[in-house]
Amino acid sequence: MSERGVQRLLGSVPVDEQAARRAWEIVRAAYAEREPRRSRRRRSSVALVLAAVAAAAAAAVLSPPGRAVVNAVRRSIGIEHAQPALFRLPAPGRLLVAGGSGAWIVADDGSKRRLGDYPQASWSPHALYVVAAAANELAAVEPTGRVHWTLARPQIRFPRWGGTRSDTRIAYFTAGRLHIVAGDGTGDVAAQGLAAAAPVPPAWEPTTGDRHVLAYVTARGRVTVLDADSGNVQWVSAAYAGPRALAWSPDGTQLALAAKTRVIVFDARTGHATAIRAGGVRALAFAPDGQLALLRSHEVLLRAGGLLHTLFVPPGGRLSGLVWSPDSRWLLTELPAADEWVFLQVRGGRRILAVSHIAAQFGAFPSLSGWAS
């Protein structure tokens, strides 16, 4: 269609005045608050009818060539079914998931193995083992499901394994207290030994040396970086409201915190903080090659060259969970309401692969715990 045709169509499409009023109320409120915030549809059944009428009117006004353009665009967008089952992972590696039906490892050929009745799990640093947790039990498990050791502790949350091949540590919470235990299950720090922690999974510094450095968020919202061997605190940040997620960059030089209204990137050595203006981030993840991805409930963002780019906006429902493939080419996120996983290609193309019927394949919809090589 020519530019003149587009111009004519632009002028002829009727504007829904109610839509304008609704939008203005939301825009005005957002301006008054001056904080990043997504809009919410406020549409009554009457408004829906009006919108439908407006759409019908618009369709009536559009000329046949105009309709052809719109239809072509919609065809190019395409609406097809997602894959009905996970036939394979789009990148090499093994995916660890956990939830109401236990912990599972998914191989890249799509085969699945259930590790046991553990609603939480995470990989060991080199993915040789899994630390898994039931409500009152912490366990070190092989990917085959064989249990190496267990510890009985009350209300276990967020088990995380870090360290080198030769010497590892596991951090976990019990009712808001932080614990650290050696990788062989010995030397558990006394329950009252460490400060109360916010409900944010702790994170081990990726290390090639012999130190064991842990970052966690205190109940007051302060990021604390702790040398787990000496017990010395390296630095403590200012307090941040609404902390939600914590992640180290793969080279250990940066530590990122998702807080309520922004993401903070700390210099890991000094604790110097740099804010990214991105509110509502619920999860964040550094790729093995250093890219930082952020997850809001309605979009996945990628930070590149100091700027944030929208990578994916779902058609509906809230997103949860974010993990990178080991080759840094794919991101995986979840749409629980749609019972779908969504693989987003970040490098080597821009494909989006959706897999449905996740709950049926695992017995319940699981959370993403990690994707390891």
Partner 1 sequence: MRPERPELDRREHVWVRDAQRGSAAALEHLFRSHWPRAYRAALLVVGDAAAAEDIAQESFLAAIRALDRFDRRRPFGPWLHRIVVNRAIDWGQARSLRRELPRGTVNSRLRRGLDRLEAVLRRETA
Residues that bind partner 1 (CB under 8 A): 1-3, 6-7, 9-10, 13, 15-16, 19-20, 22-24, 26-28, 30-32, 34, 36-39, 41, 43, 48, 51-52, 54-55, 58-59, 66, 69-74, 76-82, 277, 310, 312-315, 342, 345, 349-354
Q: What CA–CA distance (Å, rounded) separates 363 from 342?
A: 19
Using CA atoms, how far residue 47 sits from 15, 25, 53, 65, 368, in Å, is 14, 15, 10, 29, 38
In terms of CB distance, is 206 or 317 closer to partner 1? Answer: 317
CB of 323 to partner 1, least distance (A): 17
CB of 228 to partner 1, least distance (A): 40
In terms of CB distance, is 34 or 186 closer to partner 1? Answer: 34
In terms of CB distance, is 52 or 233 closer to partner 1? Answer: 52
Using left for φ > 0, alpha for ψ between -120 and 50, and beta otherwise, residue 28 falls in alpha
Return the bridge partners of 179, or none.
172
In terms of CB distance, is 58 or 236 closer to partner 1? Answer: 58
Q: What CA–CA distance (Å, rounded) separates 331 from 350?
A: 11
Strand ranges for 63-221 from DSSP E: 94-99, 102-106, 112-116, 120-123, 130-134, 137-141, 147-152, 156-163, 168-174, 177-182, 203-204, 213-217
CB of 364 to partner 1, least distance (A): 22
In terms of CB distance, is 48 or 219 closer to partner 1? Answer: 48
In terms of CB distance, is 38 or 220 closer to partner 1? Answer: 38
CB of 39 to partner 1, least distance (A): 5
> What's the token pair of residue 180?
């650290």
CB of 195 to partner 1, least distance (A): 36
Return the bridge partners of 104, or none.
97, 114
CB of 78 to partner 1, least distance (A): 5
- Scan for tokens 């017995």, then name that residue: 363
DSSP-derived pairing of the beta strands 307-312 and 299-304 = antiparallel
